Structure 1
Amino acid sequence: MRFLSGTPLDDDKLREECGVFGVIGVTDAASFVALGLHALQHRGQEAGGIMTHCPTSGFQSAHRFGLVRDTFTKAGVMDTLPGPIGIGHVRYSTAGSKGATQIRDVQPFFGEFAMGGAAIAHNGNVTNAESIRRELIERGSIFQSSSDSECIIHLMARSFQKTIPERMKDALRRVEGAFSIVAMTRTKLIGVRDPLGVRPLVLGRLGDGWVLSSETCALDIIGADFLREVEPGEMVVIGPDGLESHRPFETRGARFCVFEHVYFSRPDSIIGGRSVYETRRAIGVELAREAAVEADLVCPVPDSGTPAAIGYSQESGIPYAMGIIRNQYMGRTFIEPTEQIRNMGVRLKLNVNRALIRGKRIILVDDSVVRGTTSMKIKDMILDAGAAEVHFRIASPPTAWPCFYGVDTPEREKLLASRMTEDEMRDHIGVDSLRFISLDGLYRAVGEAGGRNNACPQYCDACFSGEYPVAPQDMLDKGFKPRAVV
C-alpha cells in the first residue's frame, strides 16, 4: 500500500528546523533521549537518530525514518543503545537531498579521531557549506551524506588540536550560519550555539545528570529542571568534573529567530524567560489593536493559531469559538493517493463546525501565509459551511523572504508575499479582508516595548524583512539578492 508523504498542510507551512537532545549521568540514556525527542517531534517528523556510549560496548547508534513513537519504543531497538550518555536528533531536510533523504543523511553523525570517537547533532544550517565541502573534497575528504552538518565532522578531523572540544571550536570558527549543536564523546556531553544564538538550546539537570535540549518542553517530559539557556556563542562541556563554559567566538549582538515565538516552538516551552503561549496570546492582542474588524466569532486555524486567536478575542471582545475542528489522528493517509484524495487536502485534517459557522461573520486567525494555497482551501470550507464573511488575521508579518538558517522555506518566487501586496493577497485568497501583524507589533508582543530597532534589530527576522544577519554565502554565489546583509 502506498502513502502520502506527510500531511495535507505540509506544503503550505514553514517546516520547523530540527530538534536536538542530549543527556549524561543517567542509567539508561537512550530512554531519556527517546522521550526528549518525542517532545521535540514538532521540530522534525521525517526521521530521527540516537547515539549512546557504554564503557563495555562502545558507541552504538540507531537511525530510523518516521516518528519517534513508532521507531524508538521497540525493545529490540532500545536494547542496542546502552550507556549513561546519549544524544539524539529529529529532522526535516533543510539542506541536502530535500524530499529524497537517505538514511545516511540522518543524524547524529559520528567521527573517529585519534583521541577517540565523537558524535554531533546539529540544528540549523551552515550557509557556506558548499564552499567548505568543495575545499574538503579537493583535499581528500570523503563525504557519506548530503548534509551540511557533515562538514563539521570533517573540519574537526583536520584540526591539530589535542581534545575533541578544542577541535570542535576550530571547526565551528570556519562555518557560517546558524547552529545549535549537541555532541558527545565517550565521557563528555557538549552543547554550543552560534555567536548570534539564532537557534535555541537549553540546559537542565536530572538528578545528578545533565540535559541539553532544543526546548524546555523536552525537559518537562523527563522530569528535568530547567537551569538556563546556553548563551549565544557559548560552548558548555559537561563531564565527570561537572560543567565548564567556554567562549570560542567573537562576541556579537544576539539575533534569536523571532519565528520560534510565532510558530516553531511548542506553546508550553519557555524562551527568554517568557512562556511561548503567553507570547502568542500577546501577538493576538496586538493584532486586534492593529487590525480590528466587525465580526461575530474569532476562530483559530488549529492548532498553531489558537493562542493568538484567544488573545484577539480577549482584546476585541468578539467571542472565541472552535469553528474548525482538527482531526487529531491525521498522519499519513492510509489509502491510495489518487488525485481525488489529494484534492481533499485540508479536509483530511480539518473540518468546519457548520452549525456554529452558518450565517456568521468569521475572523480566522492563523500563524502565517506562505504560498497561500491552504488559506484558500480553508476559506472555501468556511464559505461552503454558510459563513456570511471571512476575515483572515495573520499572527506574523508577511513571509516574503526565504530562510537560510535551518528552515525549509520555498524559493522566494513561491512566497505569496514576495510578489503581492496585502490587498492583492486578500483578492487572490478571496476573503473579505486580510491583515498581518506589523513587524513592530510582533516585536512588542515578544517583549520589546519600543518595537523593532531598525538600526540594530533584536531578533533574526530575515524572512519578514529581507535583512540577513549572516551572509548566506552559498546562495549569494548562486545569484540570490537579499534586501540587506546586516
Structure 2
Amino acid sequence: MSGLFGVVSKKKDSCIDSLIYGTDYQAHMGSEYGGLAVLGNNGFARFIHRMSNANFRDKFFESIKNIEVHSGIGVISDLEEQPIYMKSKVGEFCIVTSGRIVNMEELAKEMMDAGICFSEFSKSHVNMTELVARIVSTGQTIQDGIKLMFGKIKGSCSLLILTREGIYAARDYFGRTALVLGQDSESFAVCSETCGFANLGYRTIRDLNPGEILLISDTEVKVLEPGYKEKKICTFLWIYTGFPSSSYEGLNSEIIRERSGKLLAKRDKGIKADLVAGVPDSGLAHAIGYSMESGIPFRRPLVKYTPTYGRSYAPPSQHLRDLTARMKLIAIKEVIEGNSLILLEDSIVRGTQLKNFTVEKIWNCGAKEIHVRPACPPLMFPCTYCNSTRTNSELITRRAIREIEGSDIEDISEYLDPTTEKYAKMIEWIRKYLNITSLKYQTLEDMIEAIGLPEENLCTYCWNGKGDGCKDCKKGNA
C-alpha cells in the first residue's frame, strides 16, 4: 500500500507547503520511496527520493520550497519509484498509484508483445505505476484510459494523475484502498489518509466511491464517473495500517480500535493481570479499549523510539523488518518486573518479530506472565490486493497447520472455525512458538462489529478467504 496526496490551488497561489506537508502525513503507508510531481509556471517537474532513514519533508523541502506550484501530487511508496511522467496521445501527465496488481506480469508481457516498452523497474519487475500509466495512455482520453485500466487489472489500484486540466483522482474499483476529498478556502485536496487534512486546515468533504473518477481543477470538482455502491474496503485500515486520527467512510481508526479492545475484554472474563499494554503504535488503542472494559490499568512497558524507525511490516526484506522491530521498541524494566501483562497486538503475521523482539524483551525484564490478545482473527491467506503478505509460507498459521498435519493441506476450513478442535490446536502451537502464557484472538464477528459496517462492505479475504479475485463482487451496480 502507498499513501497519496494531491492539491490544486483555487487562486493560482503556490500550494507547495500543503503538498509537502500533506504528503508527509501519508508517510506511515510506505517506507521505500517518496515522490512529488508539480505543475507550475515552468511546466511539469518530478522529484523522487529513497526514504531509508529519512523523513519525507527533510528530503524534499529545501530543494523545492521556492518553486511556484499551482497543483501537485505526492506519494510515499512501499515498493516502486513514483511518480511516473508520461507524454502520450492523451497529453502530458504525471501519475501516482496505491494498491497491488496481481496480473501485472501478464499485462506487461501482453504490452511488450505489442511493441510497448517499459523503462522503470522495481527489483527486476515492471514498475506498477508505469504499467498503469501505459494502460491509461492507450485510452482516447485520460478518463477513458482509467476505465480501461480498471477493466484490465486484477487486484486494486487507486491513483492521482496530474495534468494541465487539473488532477484526476480515481479510487480502486472495489474501494479496498481509501481516497478522500477535502478543501479549504484556497485549494482542493485529495488524499489516502485524512490525517493529512487536519493540521493543514482542510475539511473533509467525502470519501470517493469505489470506481469513482473526479477531475479536480482550480474552480471545481467534476464527477466524471460516479462509481459504485458495492465496496470491499480493506478492514486492516481500521485495525492496523491507518493512522489513529484518520477516518474511512466517516469511521475513525482510534475509536474503532478502542471498540475492538473492549470486545476482546468482554470475551476474556476471568483473566487476572496487573496491567494492560499495547505494542506501539497500532496496538495502543486496542489496549486502551481493553483496559476501559476490564478495569485493569493501562500502562506502557514498551515505548517506541520514533525519530528514525517506522513500521516493521513495511520494509521489503525480512532482514530490514527484523532490524526495525529490534531497534524501535524499548522495554521499561521498572514497569514490567514482577507483573503479569495482557499485551494487545494489532495482528500476528509471521510471528518472528513478536517472539524475538517483543516477548523476549518483556521476559528478560522479569515479567511474571504474558497474555497476548491480537485485535483481529488469525491471518490465514496472503493478501491479494495490497502488499502486507505475499505467500502462505509467510503466515505463522500456515506453519502451525503444516506442523500439525505433517504437510501443507488444501482444505483448511476446520482451522477457520474457532469452535473446532483443530483451531484450538493451531492456537496452542502458536502460543508455544511465541513462548507466551496464553493466546486468544479476536473473532471475525467482533472485529466486524467494532467497525460497524456490514460484512459485505469489508474485505476479509486474509482471514476467511472470501473475495479472492473479486469473485463475490459485481461490477456495474451504480
Q: Give the TM-score category using the shorter length.
A: 0.7 to 0.9
Give distance in 1, aligned partners of 2:248 and 2:109. Answer: 37
1:246 deviation in Å?
2.8
Partner amino acid for 1:319? P
Q: Which runs of 5+ in 1 are unaligned?
A: 1-16, 94-104, 333-340, 473-483
**For the Cα contact (< 8 Å) 1:352–1:385, is it kept in 2?**
yes
Q: In the alignment, does 2:342 pair up with 1:363?
A: yes
Q: In the alignment, does 2:125 pair up with 1:184?
A: no
Partner amino acid for 2:263? E
**For the Cα contact (< 8 Å) 1:127–1:471, is it kept in 2?**
no
Mapping 1:255-274, distance limit 5 Å: 255-274=232-251
Partner of 2:444: 439
Partner amino acid for 2:57? R
Give distance in 2, aligned partners of 1:240 and 1:30. Answer: 15
Identity of aligned residues (%): 29
Partner of 1:465: 464
Question: Per chain length, whose mean CA-contact separation is higher, i.e. which structure has more relative contact order (CA < 8 Å, sep 6+)?
Answer: 1
2:73 alignment partner, SS class = strand
Q: In the alignment, does 2:28 pair up with 1:42?
A: yes
1:73 alignment partner, SS class = helix
Give distance in 1, aligned partners of 2:323 and 2:230. Answer: 46
**For the Cα contact (< 8 Å) 1:89–1:121, is it kept in 2?**
yes
Q: In the alignment, does 2:6 pair up with 1:22?
A: yes
**For the Cα contact (< 8 Å) 2:143–2:224, is it kept in 1?**
no
Partner of 1:136: 111
1:21 deviation in Å?
0.7
The one of 53, 64, 88 aligned to 1:77: 64
**For the Cα contact (< 8 Å) 2:309–2:324, is it kept in 1?**
no
Q: In the alignment, does 2:377 pair up with 1:397?
A: yes
Mapping 1:407-486, distance limit 5 Å: 407-420=387-400, 421-448=426-453, 453=455, 457-470=456-469
Give distance in 2, aligned partners of 1:28 and 1:139. Answer: 42
Partner of 1:125: 100
Partner of 2:191: 213
Partner amino acid for 1:266? F
Mapping 1:155-174, distance limit 5 Å: 155-159=135-139, 161=140, 163-174=141-152
Give distance in 2, aligned partners of 1:344 and 1:195. Answer: 36
**For the Cα contact (< 8 Å) 1:89–1:108, is it kept in 2?**
yes
Mapping 1:12-411, distance limit 5 Å: 17-25=1-9, 27-54=13-40, 56-66=41-51, 67-74=55-62, 76-79=63-66, 81-93=67-79, 105-145=80-120, 146-159=126-139, 161=140, 163-247=141-225, 251=228, 253-292=230-269, 293-331=271-309, 346-377=325-356, 378-411=358-391
**For the Cα contact (< 8 Å) 1:233–1:248, is it kept in 2?**
yes
Partner amino acid for 1:446? I
CA change 1:203–1:354 in 2 (3 A) is same
**For the Cα contact (< 8 Å) 1:298–1:321, is it kept in 2?**
yes
Give distance in 1, aligned partners of 2:321 and 2:172. Answer: 40
1:176 deviation in Å?
2.7
Number of residue pairs matched by the alignment: 429
Give distance in 1, aligned partners of 2:324 and 2:134. Answer: 42
| Per-residue deviation, residues 433-484 of structure 1 (Å, max 9, x unmatched) | 0111011110000014xxx75xxx3311111112234359xxxxxxxxxxx9
1:410 deviation in Å?
4.3
Partner amino acid for 1:157? S
Partner amino acid for 1:370? V
Give distance in 2, aligned partners of 1:89 and 1:168. Answer: 19
| Per-residue deviation, residues 115-163 of structure 1 (Å, max 9, x unmatched) | 520111111112222211111000111101222222221122222x1x3
1:206 deviation in Å?
2.2
1:326 deviation in Å?
2.1
Partner amino acid for 1:295? A
Give distance in 2, aligned partners of 1:342 and 1:164. Answer: 38
Partner amino acid for 1:47? Y
**For the Cα contact (< 8 Å) 1:255–1:469, is it kept in 2?**
no
Give distance in 2, aligned partners of 1:344 and 1:268. Answer: 27
Give distance in 2, aligned partners of 1:232 and 1:320. Answer: 39
Partner amino acid for 1:461? T
| Per-residue deviation, residues 20-47 of structure 1 (Å, max 9, x unmatched) | 1101125223332110111111011211
Give distance in 1, aligned partners of 2:223 and 2:106. Answer: 31
1:426 deviation in Å?
0.5
1:57 deviation in Å?
1.1
Q: Which moved more, 1:275-284 or 1:177-186?
A: 177-186
2:298 alignment partner, SS class = coil
CA change 1:345–1:72 in 2 (3 A) is closer
CA change 1:193–1:343 in 2 (3 A) is closer
Give distance in 2, aligned partners of 1:42 and 1:389. Answer: 32
Partner amino acid for 1:375? L
CA change 1:53–1:330 in 2 (3 A) is closer
CA change 1:342–1:406 in 2 (3 A) is closer
Partner amino acid for 1:60? A
Partner amino acid for 2:156? A
**For the Cα contact (< 8 Å) 1:196–1:252, is it kept in 2?**
no
2:348 alignment partner, SS class = coil
1:352 deviation in Å?
2.0
2:49 alignment partner, SS class = strand
Give distance in 1, aligned partners of 2:146 and 2:452. Answer: 34
1:218 deviation in Å?
0.5
TM-score, with normalisation over the residues of structure 2?
0.84
| Per-residue deviation, residues 334-393 of structure 1 (Å, max 9, x unmatched) | xxxxxxx99987553222221222211111111111111122122221122111111101
1:210 deviation in Å?
0.7
RMSD of aligned Cα (Å): 2.4
Partner amino acid for 2:466? E
Give distance in 2, aligned partners of 1:220 and 1:466. Answer: 36
